[in-house]
Chains A and B, each alone.
With several copies, the nearest count.
Chain A
């Protein structure tokens, strides 16, 4: 009998894991909240079960419901994806207790990595440079911790990553509201409102190292990723190799990550995050999960990271050994339901239609399908476009082409930001840091405004002409006329 895997997640990462199951001959069991019932991960799974509500606490954070489905569907293993319960040691322990293989680090390692201060101390003791920071703090303790560490600093969620619950604080006055927002977000995203404080280096690069470790003591680093293009601590673009990183710094980071993974007794896929500031680097934290940006590593190494997670979870040895050769260059752009022309605020609505890119060097990891709803309940990430090229310039050229082919009908996305970033001289030179995305606001217009006037007028004229048609759902109107156009004009 094929192993049966419950995928305790949604969206593009659930689709990614269904695909890994197919590739490995495993049976994929999906779960869905009411609003996700037509989701791509549901349609692609071998079996799919309903969760009781839309709110994360009722659905993808709902341990009791997930474990009950696992029992009813007779699954052998649970893959948590990223976010939600991925780094929750209680969930991993509850899976173990129910005799389910948790596809990720063991509960003890999750607990260890979740205690950011302890991890930092252990790695510092092992000779790895770290940034000053605190352990989980109460609101009352936070001020003293902040003053000890110094401003600017970050409030970060202890219970998970992915940029949720991170707030930059430049002064004591900003502390109370940052604490409030960070705790609120952390509670919604991970069901855990603990936060800690960490020094922030403006102008540094955010570089992380992908590691894989098996239960037999083998550890391998699979190159680094530069994730410095961030907005509100949400990564927007990631690439591997990191441009302009000296080979001595690269070696230092890979060795620190492999060494750190051994020190922590790490198992499964994980990421060691660093800030690189000139010739200095500082360990930040371990992301004890598969990450959103894992495909860039897959494209330059050829390794199926989710496949290796399953191997490790079944107790097998890793199929790869260091040093892992890297071929060419890969870049990922996140297509999120955030409007860059409106402060990157969330954009919700129905996806009426879509165009996804393809062709040479392009991989698409997407949860999009016509008719799906983008709601306030979940992460805004809709799809990832990943480009590979023999050189960084080729990867950028392909990505520009692919992003221009990407369209989500009915919801504003980060596509315009990517068009700008990929065309920016600083990005193209590789000399960018975590401040880069902030320059979006100060960008100079490029396009020809006459085209906008012509487009608007043609739109208004067509819209006026269409008004004579029978009225339709407000949102469906253009979809309908578009289809009629196609039929009429043949």
Chain B
């Protein structure tokens, strides 16, 4: 028997898992379900059986989060084994005035438009990226001074990679 802390839609619940026969018994909010997660198309697609009823689901890990797609809905779920973990707001207000501008997709850096040390406005383009024949301007999320530029034109970056560090003008 194992307990998991499951945080979903900003609410934490405890889910108890028991292994029974070929499947799992999951108890959440007082209800117990017979559950099986059958690999369908690895590594991401499963058939979820809940009390005999079947639903295709997609589960992908994105850092500490699981992204679970059921039908066309995607749910972001944080999950940890019984020992409570400190809650971190999902992308919520860091107190630091340092802002990291990350690549929203994997791709190629076409051009870097920001200059180190320069002061820029919120929304100013800092980098142009390209992937799959689509180009995209990555813009400054807030006004501030460019602390460092971490990429150069012609470089490949992965999704989430830090492109530019910005000392934001704190308005707080």
CB pair A453 B15 closer than 8 Å: yes
User: Does A479 make an interface contact (CB < 8 A)?
Assistant: yes
CB pair B9 A454 closer than 8 Å: no
Distance between Cα atoms of A489 and B133 in the complex (Å) = 26
Distance between Cα atoms of A139 and B60 in the complex (Å) = 43
CB pair A180 B24 closer than 8 Å: no
CB pair A457 B6 closer than 8 Å: yes
- Known contacts A343-B104, A346-B105, A459-B66: does B131 contact A376 (CB below 8 Å)? yes
CB pair B133 A419 closer than 8 Å: no
Q: Name the interface residues of B64-121: CB closer than 8 Å to any CB of A.
A: 66-75, 77, 79, 81, 104-108, 110
CB-CB under 8 A from A81, the residues of chain B are: none
Distance between Cα atoms of A448 and B69 in the complex (Å) = 11
Shortest beta-carbon distance from A360 to chain B in Å: 20
In this complex, what residue of B is CB-closest to A458?
A: B37
CB-CB under 8 A from B6, the residues of chain A are: 453, 456-457
> B42's contact among A49, A353, A379, A455, by CB below 8 Å, is which?
A353
CB-CB under 8 A from A189, the residues of chain B are: 133
User: Does A449 make an interface contact (CB < 8 A)?
Assistant: yes
CB pair B13 A446 closer than 8 Å: no
User: Does A451 make an interface contact (CB < 8 A)?
Assistant: yes
Shortest beta-carbon distance from B139 to chain A in Å: 9
User: Does A321 make an interface contact (CB < 8 A)?
Assistant: no
User: Does A47 make an interface contact (CB < 8 A)?
Assistant: yes
User: Does A257 make an interface contact (CB < 8 A)?
Assistant: no
- Known contacts A376-B156, A409-B42, A456-B79: does B54 contact A346 (CB below 8 Å)? no
User: Does A255 make an interface contact (CB < 8 A)?
Assistant: no
How large, as a class, is the contact surface on chain A?
35 or more
User: Does B55 make an interface contact (CB < 8 A)?
Assistant: yes
- Known contacts A379-B132, A455-B70: does B42 contact A352 (CB below 8 Å)? yes
CB-CB under 8 A from A181, the residues of chain B are: 128, 135-137
Shortest beta-carbon distance from A44 to chain B in Å: 8
Give A63-101 as 1s and 0s: 1 = Cβ < 8 Å from B's Cβ atoms.
000000000010000000000000000000000000000
- Known contacts A455-B57, A479-B42: does B28 contact A416 (CB below 8 Å)? no
User: Does A260 make an interface contact (CB < 8 A)?
Assistant: no
User: Does A404 make an interface contact (CB < 8 A)?
Assistant: yes
CB pair B108 A376 closer than 8 Å: yes
> B17's contact among A355, A443, A457, by CB below 8 Å, is which?
A457
CB pair B133 A188 closer than 8 Å: yes
CB pair B105 A460 closer than 8 Å: no
In this complex, what residue of A is CB-closest to B137?
A: A177
User: Does A445 make an interface contact (CB < 8 A)?
Assistant: yes
Shortest beta-carbon distance from A151 to chain B in Å: 19
CB pair B69 A177 closer than 8 Å: no
Give B35-72 as 1s and 0s: 1 = Cβ < 8 Å from A's Cβ atoms.
11111111111111110111111111000001111111
CB-CB under 8 A from A337, the residues of chain B are: 132
> B48's contact among A352, A377, A451, by CB below 8 Å, is which?
A451
CB pair B68 A455 closer than 8 Å: yes
Distance between Cα atoms of A163 and B52 in the complex (Å) = 35
Give B8-21 as 1s and 0s: 1 = Cβ < 8 Å from A's Cβ atoms.
11000101010000
In this complex, what residue of B is CB-closest to A349?
A: B106
CB-CB under 8 A from B70, the residues of chain A are: 447-448, 451-452, 455
CB pair A185 B130 closer than 8 Å: yes
- Known contacts A45-B54, A48-B52, A185-B133: does B24 contact A458 (CB below 8 Å)? yes
User: Does A23 make an interface contact (CB < 8 A)?
Assistant: no
User: Does A464 make an interface contact (CB < 8 A)?
Assistant: yes
User: Does A116 make an interface contact (CB < 8 A)?
Assistant: no
Distance between Cα atoms of A185 and B130 in the complex (Å) = 8
CB pair B40 A43 closer than 8 Å: yes
User: Does A427 make an interface contact (CB < 8 A)?
Assistant: no
CB-CB under 8 A from A73, the residues of chain B are: 52
Counting chain B CB atoms within 10 Å of each CB, the highest count among A45, A345, A409, A477 belongs to A345
CB-CB under 8 A from B47, the residues of chain A are: 43
CB pair A459 B72 closer than 8 Å: no
CB-CB under 8 A from A412, the residues of chain B are: 60
Distance between Cα atoms of A407 and B50 in the complex (Å) = 21
CB-CB under 8 A from A327, the residues of chain B are: none
CB pair A184 B130 closer than 8 Å: yes
> B35's contact among A185, A447, A458, by CB below 8 Å, is which?
A458
Known pairs A177-B137, A379-B132, A460-B66. 7 more at Cβ < 8 A?
A46-B54, A49-B52, A376-B106, A453-B8, A454-B33, A458-B24, A461-B17
Closest 9 CB pairs of A and B: A478-B43, A482-B39, A452-B75, A376-B131, A482-B42, A420-B72, A407-B41, A456-B77, A345-B105
* 17 examples of A-B residue contacts, CB within 8 angstroms: A38-B38, A46-B53, A47-B52, A181-B137, A338-B132, A346-B131, A407-B45, A409-B42, A410-B42, A410-B44, A448-B70, A451-B55, A452-B77, A454-B33, A455-B59, A476-B43, A482-B42
Point out residues on B near A: beta carbons under 8 Å: 2, 4, 6, 8-9, 13, 15, 17, 22, 24, 26, 28, 33, 35-50, 52-60, 66-75, 77, 79, 81, 104-108, 110, 125, 128, 130-137, 156
Point out residues on A near B: beta carbons under 8 Å: 38, 43, 45-49, 56, 73, 164, 177, 180-181, 184-185, 188-189, 232, 337-338, 340-343, 345-348, 352-355, 376-380, 404, 407-410, 412, 416-417, 419-420, 423, 443, 445-462, 464, 475-479, 481-483, 485-486, 489
